[in-house]
A and B are shown apart, each in its own frame.
Chain A
Amino acid sequence: MDLIVTATSQGFLWGIMALGIFMTYRILNLPDMTAEGAFPLGGAVAAQLILHGVSPVLATAISFVIGMLAGAITAWLITKGNVPDLLAGILTMTGLYSINLRILTRANLSLLGEERLTDFLSGLHLPSSFDTLFTGFMICTVLIFLLVSFFKTEIGQAVIATGDNERMARSMGISTSRMKAVGLMLSNGLVAMAGAMIAQDNGYADISMGIGTIVIGLAAVIIGEVVFGNLSFTHRLICVILGAIIYRLIILFVLLIGLEPNDLKLISAVILAFCLALPSLRKSMHLHFFDRKEQNER
């Protein structure tokens, strides 16, 4: 039971990161690798700030802003430098590795005994992990509300149109470069913020904590889509969070059946590969375990 609560609470935190991945991969339709660098960047910035006595809330907020800067660099490379999307993200990510090391000053920075974002709940004397669960839930709820409101504005709609049909967006007078920048900054802000929160939850920030960020984020996005299907915008965001929780539960399950934590990246990759290939597999092997609904309708 404890393990399930821990996995679910981590699901919320990773879900915030997955929301960031959703912004680029799904809304902007742009494969952004910056996230792999923005995630440890957020962790490093928050850890160093907290160690210097900054409150965890402020430290997490600053991580968001710093993450946006990372996104802005990638956006600048893509729109002004005409660097291909994928390469632009890889360049920023690679550069960030050195910057992250500079911020951390060493490969691993411990936060043991330091204040954490979840401390404001400590007065309630909740069972362990429940504080993270509540904090994660609240932050996800607020974020989804803010994101849904943002994407209903003219700018939000212009970002969606840019990702959906760039040529049409331009012919309608939308500055697609600017909208890509908005999307990339928002995405990496969220990813860095998740990095900050996960570093606090783990009790350390680590230079290698970003490896696999995109695979995990995309896995959450795609698990959400495969399990819950094609939905409205608000529901799609909620499903990203649910996808992240399901992902953490799957990870918990494979650890329980005896695989080692060292195998986690491999497992993540296999889960994502499986989910991505599922539509084609279903067709070629005539599997029907996920489209029961369609059969009923027939």
Chain B
Amino acid sequence: MSVNTILDIQGLSKTYQQKTLNEHQVLKELSFQVNKGDFITVIGGNGSGKSSLLNAIAGSSIPDKGKILLSGKDITRLKEEQRADQIGRVFQDPLMGTAPRMTVAENLAIAFRRGKKRRFRRGITANEKELYMDLLAKLGLGLERRLDSEMGLLSGGQRQAITLLMATMKKPAILLLDEHTAALDPKTAQTILSLTSQRIKEEKLTALMITHNMQDALTYGNRLLMLDSGKIVMDLSQEEKESLTAESLILLFQQHSLGFDLSS
């Protein structure tokens, strides 16, 4: 493990419904390291373990075996809220990342205090509101005018843009993006993706992004992981990625899901 490693996953295993007929292992001794500043795209078929991996890192499910070290600290068994100060997360469902009955400003104030102990202090201060205005204006979607609107009145794309801001406004050690554009229309998906890439560059974030879009997996990020049956079957560097087209990646993807050996 080098000094540059921010996330170290060691031999992660997870089996659901152990010792029953429905037993299935979603993660099999999965190991890899993430360097500071990496933007890794993750691809893989349904049930390949992508989401299970993200859930294990975020703490919404606890692995059976293995270790997760984030910024050198063992977080494997911490509760989700206990590790939230280190982790920013955007879900697939655009409604999942925001509280619909709270205003945009109130949602941002919750995110501004991510991982901090809540006290009997003002939930939102006047200075904060100005900061939120600036941050929203930077998204370029005109959301700074909706600061006091209830979140539920905004569109899915607008809510996902705010979720992205909420996940990154207090710099996380790692940003987890779980197919966060899959539920949006193609145009909005592109907007959110370029905002994502913009935020990652601006804040020099480390990120893991699950995607089903092969082109996006190649266009964005500096490393690509392919998962199959709970294992990493391909780990491509920036240069290797650049030499691939979406078509050739799909081909590789199909070979893997059919179980071909790829060393040739």
Contact = CB atoms under 8 A, between A and B. Distances in A.
Contact of B99 (A153, A154, A155, A160): A160
A158 B110 contact: yes
Given A154-B120, A154-B122, A156-B123, A170 B81 contact: yes
B114 interface: yes
A164 B101 CA distance: 7
B99 A169 contact: yes
B85 A173 contact: yes
Interface in A166-224: 167-176
A172 B84 contact: yes
Interface in B95-130: 96-102, 106, 109-111, 113-116, 118-124
Contacts of A245: none
B124 A157 contact: yes
Contacts of A154: 113, 118-123
A165 interface: yes
B58 interface: yes
A18 interface: no
Given A168-B97, A170-B84, A160 B122 contact: no
B89 interface: yes
B216 interface: no
Interface in B118-145: 118-124
A239 interface: no
A173 B116 contact: yes
Interface in B56-107: 58, 60, 80-82, 84-85, 87, 89, 91, 96-102, 106
Report which residue of A154, A155, A158, A173 has the largest number of chain B beta carbons within 10 angstroms of its beta carbon. A173
A154 B106 CA distance: 10
A152 B123 contact: yes
B120 A165 contact: no
Report which residue of B58, B80, B91, B123 has the largest number of chain A beta carbons within 10 angstroms of its beta carbon. B123
A123 to B, nearest CB: 37
A41 interface: no
B81 A155 contact: no
A176 B59 CA distance: 14
Size class of the contact patch on chain A: 20 to 34
Given A172-B110, A173-B114, A161 B99 contact: yes
Given A160-B99, A161-B99, A165-B99, A171 B84 contact: yes
Contacts of A170: 60, 80-81, 84
A183 to B, nearest CB: 13
A171 B58 contact: yes
Report which residue of B118, B120, B122 has the largest number of chain A beta carbons within 10 angstroms of its beta carbon. B118
Contact of A152 (B91, B118, B122): B122
Contacts of A174: 81, 110, 118
Nearest to A160: B102
A172 B109 contact: no
A194 to B, nearest CB: 25
Interface residues of B, number: 33
Contacts of B110: 157-158, 161, 168-169, 172, 174
Nearest to B121: A154
Interface string A257-289: 000000000000000000000000000000000
A75 B109 CA distance: 26
Given A153-B119, A155-B119, A160 B84 contact: no
Contacts of A164: 99-102
Interface string A141-161: 000000000001111111011
A184 B87 CA distance: 29
A164 B151 CA distance: 11
A153 B120 contact: yes
Interface string A235-253: 0000000000000000000
Contacts of A175: 81
Nearest to B88: A171
Contacts of A176: 81
Contact of B89 (A152, A156, A157, A171): A171
Contact of A157 (B80, B98, B123): B123
Interface in A52-95: none
Contacts of B109: 157
A157 B121 CA distance: 10
B118 to A, nearest CB: 4
Contacts of A155: 118-120
Contact of A153 (B89, B91, B122, B166): B122
A173 B97 CA distance: 13
Nearest to B96: A167
A157 B106 contact: yes
Contacts of A167: 91, 96
Nearest first, the 7 closest Cβ-Cβ pairs linking A and B are A173-B84, A164-B99, A157-B123, A173-B115, A154-B118, A165-B99, A158-B118
Given A165-B96, A173-B115, 12 more contacts: A154-B113, A155-B120, A157-B118, A168-B98, A168-B110, A170-B80, A172-B84, A172-B114, A172-B115, A173-B84, A173-B85, A176-B81
5 contacts: A154-B119, A157-B102, A160-B101, A171-B97, A172-B113
